[in-house]
Amino acid sequence: MTHFTDRDVQGYIHHALTDAQRETMNHHMQSCGECRAYLQMAEMQRRRFATDLADEIRRSRPSDRMRFAAIKPGLNRRRRWAFVHFHSIQVLSALGTVTTIVAFLFLGFYALGLSAVNNPAPAINEQATLSPGLVKLFAEAWDDPTPYQAGLLDSQQDALALLATAPVYHIEITFSDDLRQLDGRQQVRYVNTTEVTLTNLIFHLYPNLSHESLAVYDVEVDGRPVVPQLLNQTRHVQINLPRPLPPGQTAILEMAFEWRSQPASALPAEITHLAQFHPVLALYRAERGWDMTLPTQNLPFATAPGFYHVRVNAPANQQIVSAGLITGQELAGNGPLPRQVVTIAAGPVHTFYLAISHRFQAVVSGTAGETRLNSYAFTPAQLANAQLALTLAQTAVAQYNQLFGPYPYTELDIINLPNLAHAYQGAAYPGVMVLEHDPFLYHPDGREQMIYFQVASQWFVPPAAASQLQNPWLADGLAAYASHYAYGDNDTAVANLNQRWQTRAQAAYGPLDLPAAVYTNLGYYNMTQGQSPLFFASLAETMGQAAFVTFLADYGQTYRWRGADADAFRQLAADHCQCDLTALLDRNP
């Protein structure tokens, strides 16, 4: 199927096409949601530009120098100059060549003198030639780690120095009263950590993959306006830099964005669930440049860990749950619906997640090690399920802390939803677990497995987040295997879990190391929850359980912030093992 080009879309919205061309495009859009979304976003940008221009014209007032009283003296001077000029020509035509030259010089000096007296040269305003400077959304310096220190354990503070050149996002968003749209502005500090000079940056537009939409406008780089270029049917936006960015140099980007959503059938209308809802920097890979691989299986785009300082303006009756810590909250506005402004600091995280709902009224809390756990019930009637989730998560965090090293964040939030547009296992984001109620209600024997898997994902998804689309077995599969450690000495539960792995693995197909895009939903589930954990079980048996646990701890702590791919995993496994893993690793990943 051939999709619309930028020329097609601009011609359509500006009525520059023939009737036949418009009819062809209308027919195409009846069956192509991508092009409908592309056209809608372009039309929304056009309306935004037109509205902004009209507002600017209405607000504009001529300066005193442009009023008639100020212009009149200059007109009089021009009139006198015209009189002198006319008669000078008459005189010059009657005189000889020498007289003409002398007269011309005389009149020239006379005119210059007159101009100097009546039109003195304006003073040069050097300040006006400089960029007015960025009005920052937050006061701290870009390299100031202070906002993020409270969200990390004392033992994990070195991550702030390790990721000193990671992307920094300052974001300000305002929700509509019904939470179905938001207007935002973000400022991004980007340091070129590649080995090449960059001429552009690529941002992911994740909402444009679904029933949501994300539009970007008013883009500036280092104070200079640039025109964003949409790519891949609005899934990405390219920002061409005003000047090349050499390795080690920094660029500051500012952009406005609009997020819009229609209620999703798999989500309750009272909840807005946001992950990568804003323009997010893509990963630059040395071998192929910007990675624009489209996500599948409800996975996010591949991104680097970053720091997020976010200010949220929302109705005051809404409860906000997000990655990181809430560092400020105050009431704002005098409208009919009271509003609140909530400030959040999160990082380092590879995805910033936020959920908002007026139904999150019941919460239970506890601790595991140095981490506070908060479990949110969708309704007070579900408080028992929230308590159960908290208890199981505390058990799992305590076990994994001991086995794999400390959980890095000081807070872990658990959101319990009645339904979710994800697979049975729910979803995990840095600092947040999202669980479905369905397993609680209809699969009571599987709820421990679901929660233990989500907690294990907090350890083993971050190291592989950048390669998860290419190596899903390494992220979700390793988390599925590691979940069995939370059962402790309950051999019966571990045996039952192993049996479930066997059943799912029998339904899996193909080699283990396939990218996520080749799987159906069921095939992906059977691979990550069956075939993959069985591979890790074989690896543990070959290495020995004690050595394998030590290896997993080293893997998680070494690559949590730096990121690992399949080759790094294999190399570290070989370094830890006092045996030959070649046959096992070659036969599987």
Full pLDDT tens readout for the chain, 589 residues: 577 787 888 888 787 888 788 878 877 876 776 677 677 667 666 766 665 565 566 556 666 666 656 666 665 665 665 555 555 555 555 555 545 554 545 555 454 444 433 444 333 232 222 334 568 899 999 999 999 999 999 999 999 999 999 999 999 999 999 898 999 999 999 999 999 999 999 999 999 988 889 999 999 999 999 999 999 989 999 999 999 999 999 999 999 999 998 655 445 567 888 989 999 999 999 989 999 999 888 888 889 999 999 999 999 999 999 999 999 999 987 667 899 999 999 999 999 999 999 988 778 999 999 999 999 988 777 788 899 999 999 999 999 999 999 999 999 999 987 655 444 567 899 999 998 766 544 455 677 888 999 999 999 999 999 988 988 999 999 999 999 898 887 888 888 888 888 888 888 877 887 888 888 888 888 899 899 999 999 999 999 999 999 999 999 999 999 999 988 998 999 899 877 777 776 666 5
Strand, helix or coil for residue 220: strand
**CA 434 centroid distance within chain:** 19
Specify the DSSP class assigned to residue 476: I
Q: Where are the strands (E) in 5-64, listed by range? A: none
Q: Around Cβ 72, how many Cβ atoms within 10 Å? A: 10
Residue 133: the pLDDT is 54
Distances 359 to 31, 173, 269 between C-alpha atoms, Å: 37, 21, 11
Q: Which of 575, 562, 501 is nearest to 536 (CA)?
A: 501
Domain segments of the chain as ranges? 6-59, 64-116, 134-282+298-350, 461-587
- What are the strands of the beta sheet with 229-231, ordered from one edge? 229-231, 236-245, 198-204, 280-281
Residue 431 CA to residue 349 CA, distance in Å, equals: 8
Q: What is the pTM of this model?
A: 0.77
Tokens matching residue 427:
């979803």
With both helix axes pointing from N to C terminus, report the angle between 566-576 and 545-559 in degrees, rounded to the nearest 10: 140
Is the Cβ–Cβ distance between 362 and 380 less than 8 Å?
yes
Backbone phi, psi, residue 22, to 5°: -65, -40
In degrees, rounded to 5, the angle at the alpha carbon of residue 366 between the alpha carbons of residues 309 and 552 is: 75
Within 8 A by CB and 6+ apart from 447, the residues are 388, 392, 439, 440
CB 128 within 8 A of CB 154: no
What is the tens place of the pLDDT at every residue in 150-186?
999 999 999 999 999 999 999 999 999 989 899 999 9
> How many CA atoms lie less than 13 Å away from 307 in the CB half-sphere?
28
Q: Is the peptide bond before 348 cis (omega within 30 degrees of 0)?
A: yes
Among candidates 425, 445, 423, which has minimal Cα distance to 433? 425
Q: Which of 262, 272, 257 is nearest to 357 (CA)?
A: 272
CATH architecture observed for domain 461-587: Orthogonal Bundle (1.10)
What does the pLDDT read at residue 256? 96
The pLDDT of residue 15: 77
Instruction: Please list the residues that pair with 28 across neighbouring strands.
Output: none
Which residue from 544, 560, 353, 327 is spatially nearest to 466, judged by alpha carbons? Answer: 560
Q: What tokens does 63 get? A: 């300066």
DSSP string covering 277-344: -S-EEPEEETTTEEE-PPP-TTPPPP---EEEEEEEEEETT-EEEESSEEEEEEEE--SSS-EEEEEE
Phi, psi dihedral angles at 462 (to 5 degrees) = -55, -45
Burial of 206 (0-12, 13-18, 19+ CB in 10 A): buried
pLDDT of residue 384: 85
CATH of 134-282+298-350, one of 2.60.40.1730, 3.30.70.360, 1.20.120.1200, 3.30.720.210: 2.60.40.1730
* The pLDDT of residue 199: 97
CB atoms closer than 10 angstroms to residue 73:
11
Q: Which of 302, 191, 305 is nearest to 236 (CA)?
A: 302
Q: Which residues of 490-517 are buried (b: 16+ CB within 10 A; e: fewer)?
A: eeebeeebeeebeebbeebeeebebebe
Of the candidates 425, 449, 196, 175, the one whose C-alpha atom is nearest the C-alpha of residue 298 is: 425
Question: Which SS3 state, helix, strand or coil, does residue 524 take?
Answer: helix
SS3 274: strand
Query: Which residues have C-beta within 8 Å of that of residue 38, sequence separation ≥ 6?
Result: 3, 4, 9, 230, 233, 234
